[in-house]
């Protein structure tokens, strides 16, 4: 019988279910060295967030076939090493959805009716109502920042409270949002309109301090903010200033920039803030569901069944990887490039593989592009197995074509994106084993898709490159290449600058103030991890 080691608490029902299929040993609190010494006797390992499954642990697991994470995050597991060893890592991406959604609704109602302050006053011996008159949520506008799995569950429950629901999420189709009873808007409109703003987006460099001073300056003074996602998405200093100045009526936080929340945090002294200690997912039902799900996945993998929620993708043999890797990198970076340029909601994706690339494994290329596109907005880690399912859950339709022509290139991948505001086009190829982007909309150019890029659209005028260079030079930023594409002399054009350091907001603002510049975006394309076929995110 296969053997499984459980190093952190699982529900008793899950332990009994696991024991029906495998031999189970529960050894909570193992140190890393103790785990290294023990793991060689086991075929499976089940952990939560405390156990550190390091490369050394994985190398010691000579029989190890599967690692199960009872939860979503896998930061404590060395995915690269597990993938190299052919060990499947599984998690439970949806087990806490209802718990977090209900906690969000609970915090919203507590904010609306001043429930914590009322309770505290009564327990202190006071019977006071002054200043505690609440508001009804019926008819109010709930703005969801992120419409993934949890955001959608919140929307479904808010609909039962007769609220109007809007959301900001460029990577959800309008049809998918409409089915959830949600109207998609841009972030500025959401901030200006919503009575309650609830955050449900993953933490990335793009979402870090997304709700900061600039965003809070747009909200109505009667608005209230709820965050059950990640603490760093909200700038706590800016939030506190908005609450104390009356810029914001209230806030409810289950997550914080630093956890545990320090005893001297000024948030603790703010009577307009409701605070809970990161327990949105902590329900008996959620913990049972997560335990049962991970237990089932572990025994299924050990019985030879395919994993239902794999976190890492399968390892390719070196020859296959060497041939496909440049195209995987190209597809992933094309997806990431578009994601950082996107401003309108996606409706449909169309991929065309031309020339030599049409003979490649297009299923993996499609998945790689979707990873790049959705990596920064997905609530769960993306890989070559689950990327298509995540895209489908967001209502994104993708069609594909293989054609013999490649517009004078040996091979070409062309991405056409239909958005709510029209069509965008991106094309790329592989040259000298490097991923190149060669087309942005109607503009043909050529640059290696890596590093920091300043991408702008302009109306062609003499001196535009020089003025751009002056701004960057005064900011101490070196330019290492310039690519310009245009339709015709004096018409519209696109420019891509490779730069060594990121622009400050002030420098980017100066670029945007140039009279001929129509738009400008800073795009970051770090090295991809497809040499190890681990997850992105």
Dig out the tokens for 93 from the structure: 């991406």
Q: Is residue 67 part of a domain?
A: yes
Residues 235 and 105 in one domain: yes
Sequence-ordered alpha helix ranges (H) in 180-306: 187-193, 213-216, 236-245, 284-302
Q: Do residue 268 and residue 409 come from a single domain?
A: no
Q: How far apart are CA 156 and CA 161, in angstroms?
A: 9
- 400-440: per-residue pLDDT in tens? 999 999 988 999 999 999 998 889 999 999 999 999 999 99
**Residue 532: inside a domain, yes or no?**
no
Residues 6+ apart with CB under 8 A from 384: 313, 314, 364, 367, 368, 371, 533
On the question of pLDDT at 531 being above 50, the answer is no
> Does the pLDDT of residue 21 top 60, yes or no?
yes
With 0.75 as the threshold, say if the pTM is over it. Answer: yes
Same domain, 107 and 240: yes
Residue 234 and residue 105 in one domain: yes
Percentage of the chain lying above the pLDDT 70 cut: 97
Q: Which DSSP category does 29 fall into?
A: T
Tokens coding 48: 């939560």
Residues catalogued as catalytic:
230, 259, 278
Q: Are residues 178 and 249 both part of a single domain? A: yes
> How far apart (Å, rounded) are the C-alpha atoms in residues 533 and 536?
9
User: Within this chain, do residues 322 and 359 fall inside the same structural domain, yes or no?
Assistant: yes
Which pLDDT belongs to residue 447? 97
pLDDT at 324 over 90: no
The reply to whether 127 and 221 lie within a common domain is: yes
- CATH code at position 460: 3.30.70.260
Domain membership flag for residue 307? no
Look at 2-16, 124-138, 297-311 and tell me which has the smallest mean pLDDT: 297-311
Name the pLDDT band for 86 (thresholds 50, 70, 90): confident
Looking at the fold, whether 200 and 157 belong to one and the same domain comes out as yes
Residue 322 or residue 522, greater confidence: 522
Range of the domain at 475: 451-525
Q: What size, in residues, is the chain? A: 537
Write down which residue in 443, 465, 481 finishes a domain: 443
Domain boundary among 421, 443, 465: 443
For residue 151, what is the domain's CATH number?
Answer: 3.40.50.720
Same domain, residue pair 426 and 470: no
Residue 264: inside a domain: yes
pLDDT of residue 529: 52
CB-based contacts of 72: which residues, under 8 Å, 6+ apart? 91, 92, 93, 96, 379, 380
Predicted confidence (pLDDT) at residue 534 exceeds the cutoff of 50 = no
How far apart are the C-alpha atoms of 534 and 65, rounded to whole Å? 16
| Strands 164-168, 141-145: pairing kind | parallel
Vertex 73: Cα angle to 72 and 79 (nearest 5): 115
pLDDT above 70: residue 530: no
For the record, the structure tokens of 71 come out as 């939860």
Residue 12 neighbours by CB under 8 Å, 6+ apart: none
Note whether residue 196 is domain-resident: yes
Distance CA 334, CA 369 (A): 7
Give helix 505-513 / helix 464-474 axis angle, nearest 10°.
160
- Does 129 lie in the same domain as 246? yes
CA distance 196 to 525: 35
The count of domains in the chain is 4
Residue 311 is assigned to a structural domain of this protein: no
* 280 domain residue, yes or no: no
pLDDT of 533 reads: 45
Same domain, 320 and 380: yes
DSSP 282-330: --HHHHHHHHHHHHHHHHHHHTTPPPSSBSSPPPPPHHHHHHHHHHHHH
Judgement on whether residues 370 and 341 belong to the same structural domain of the protein: yes
Look at residue 220 and give its three-state secondary structure: coil
Residue 156, pLDDT > 70, answer yes
What CA–CA distance (Å, rounded) separates 269 from 217?
22
């Amino acid at each position: 019988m296969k053997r499984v080691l459980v190093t952190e608490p699982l529900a008793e029902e899950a332990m009994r279910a696991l024991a029906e299929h495998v031999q189970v040993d529960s050894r909570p609190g193992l140190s890393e060295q103790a785990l290294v010494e023990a793991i060689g006797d086991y075929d499976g390992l089940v952990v939560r967030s405390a156990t550190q499954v390091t490369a050394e642990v994985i190398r010691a697991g000579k029989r190890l076939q599967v690692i199960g994470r009872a939860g979503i995050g896998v930061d404590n597991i060395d995915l690269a090493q597990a993938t190299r060893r052919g060990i499947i890592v599984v998690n439970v991406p949806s087990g806490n959805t209802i718990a977090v959604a209900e906690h969000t609704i609970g915090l919203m109602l507590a904010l609306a009716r001043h429930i914590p302050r009322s309770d505290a006053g009564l327990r202190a011996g006071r019977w006071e109502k002054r200043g505690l008159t609440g508001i009804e949520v019926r008819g109010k506008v709930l703005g969801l920042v992120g419409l993934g799995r949890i955001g959608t569950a919140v929307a479904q429950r808010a609909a039962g409270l007769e609220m109007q629901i809007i959301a900001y999420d460029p990577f959800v189709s309008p049809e998918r949002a409409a089915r959830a009873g949600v109207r998609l808007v841009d972030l500025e409109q959401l901030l200006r309109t919503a009575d309650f703003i609830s955050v449900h987006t993953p933490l990335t460099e793009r979402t870090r301090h997304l709700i900061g001073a600039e965003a809070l300056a747009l909200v109505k003074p009667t608005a209230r903010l709820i965050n059950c996602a990640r603490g760093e998405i909200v700038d706590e200093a800016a939030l506190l200033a908005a609450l104390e100045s009356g810029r914001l009526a209230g806030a409810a936080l289950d997550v914080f920039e630093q956890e545990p929340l320090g005893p001297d945090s000024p948030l603790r002294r703010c009577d307009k803030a409701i605070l809970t200690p990161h327990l949105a997912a902590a329900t008996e039902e959620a913990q049972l569901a997560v335990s049962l799900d991970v237990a089932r996945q572990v025994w299924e993998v050990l019985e030879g069944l395919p994993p239902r929620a794999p976190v890492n993708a399968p390892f390719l043999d070196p020859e296959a990887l060497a041939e496909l890797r440049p195209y995987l990198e190209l597809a992933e970076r094309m997806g990431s490039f578009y994601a950082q340029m996107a401003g309108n909601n996606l409706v449909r994706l169309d991929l065309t593989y031309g020339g030599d690339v049409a003979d490649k494994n297009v299923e993996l290329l499609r998945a790689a592009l979707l990873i790049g596109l959705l990596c920064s907005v997905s609530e769960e880690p993306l890989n070559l197995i689950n990327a298509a399912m995540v895209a489908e859950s967001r209502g994104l339709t993708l069609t594909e074509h293989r054609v013999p022509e490649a517009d004078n290139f040996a091979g070409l991948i062309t991405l056409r994106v239909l958005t709510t505001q029209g069509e965008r086009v991106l094309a790329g190829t592989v040259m000298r084993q490097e991923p190149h982007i060669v087309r942005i909309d109607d503009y043909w150019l050529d640059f290696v898709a890596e590093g920091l890029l300043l991408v702008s659209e302009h109306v062609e005028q003499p001196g535009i490159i020089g003025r751009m260079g002056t701004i960057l030079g005064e900011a101490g930023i070196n330019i290492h290449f310039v690519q310009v594409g245009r339709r015709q002399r004096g018409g519209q054009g696109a420019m891509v600058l490779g730069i060594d350091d990121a622009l400050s907001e002030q420098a980017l603002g100066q670029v945007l103030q140039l009279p001929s510049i129509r738009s400008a975006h800073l795009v970051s394309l770090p090295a991809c991890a497809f040499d190890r076929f681990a997850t992105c995110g």
